[in-house]
Amino acid sequence: MKDIIYDFLDYIKLEKNYSDYTEINYEIDLFKYDEYLKAQKLNYLRVKYKNISDFIIYLQKCNYKSTTINRIISTLKSFYGFLEKNHKISTNPFNLVNSLKTPKKLPNYFKYQEFTTMIDTLENTPLDIRNRLILELLLATGIRVSELANIKLIDIDDNDKEIRILGKGNKERIVYYGSYASMALQAYLNSSRKILLKDKESDYLLINNNGNKLTVRGIRLVIDKIVKKSCIKSKVSPHTFRHSFATLMLNEGCNIKSVQELLGHASLSTTGIYTHLTNEEIRREYLKAHPRARN
């Protein structure tokens, strides 16, 4: 099964253009499944619904969260779909499997004041000029960190303040940014990018300290360092910027369909979770302000 797993991973990477992060998760899930099948002496090409049900029960007994189990199910649905497409099996047994019910968990987001606190920790060094651009672009556009890392200079139109983004499944969209991000971009391009390149050449916007493309992991480390230095209370990860962008837009009256387009969500229901965030904010403000609602 090992060889076909790597064939599948090549397929999602090269043909489906899935992110490195997704590929790593798929690899972990598939080898966990392979390990289980070997222990049960099962052939992956001949599994039945009962075998899959037993596997899910096994994961539950191992105390995996329902969200993690659903991710594994999704991985295996894709894997067996690949096998079916390549005529290794006649039907995908995972098409019969439903996802587990999961408790609704609202995504983390930070307040605008917390963002300015993060910005205030940055100095005027080449790296911090780049880091300012990272923060400004993430909040201005709501793009994924993998999309940020893959922005090329040719993708940016600073006259119209827009960036062409290649998202999940090779879907292209346009995102926009404002004057703060534009000033950060010009400061970076006019000074620190040339210093960081160290006489090298690169098509990519963001450059690391060695003159190479800044990776997703590199951006995560940058943000972790800034958050730690700023001592803000909110739990902030790179993806929190995406949640915060959506929340800010909806709070300021942007319609949900526009937010969907800007985020690159395939389904409006995915964007819908942010309305719960804004509604909860409204509820808190109401309880705090209305004289007949306070305790």
Residues designated catalytic: 144, 168, 239, 242, 265, 274
Contact 97, 80 (CB under 8 A): no
Give first-to-last CA distance, the chain, whole Å.
62
SS (H, E, C) 255-278: CHHHHHHHHCCCCHHHHCHHHHHH
- The candidate with the shortest Cα–Cα distance to 130, out of 179, 188, 180, is 188
Count of alpha carbons within 13 Å of 126, Cβ hemisphere only?
16
Report helix, strand or coil for 178: coil
* Spatial CB neighbours of 187, under 8 Å, sequence gap ≥ 6: 129, 132, 133
CA–CA separation, 145 and 241 (whole Å): 9
CA–CA separation, 280 and 286 (whole Å): 10
H helices present in 16-65, as ranges:
20-40, 49-61
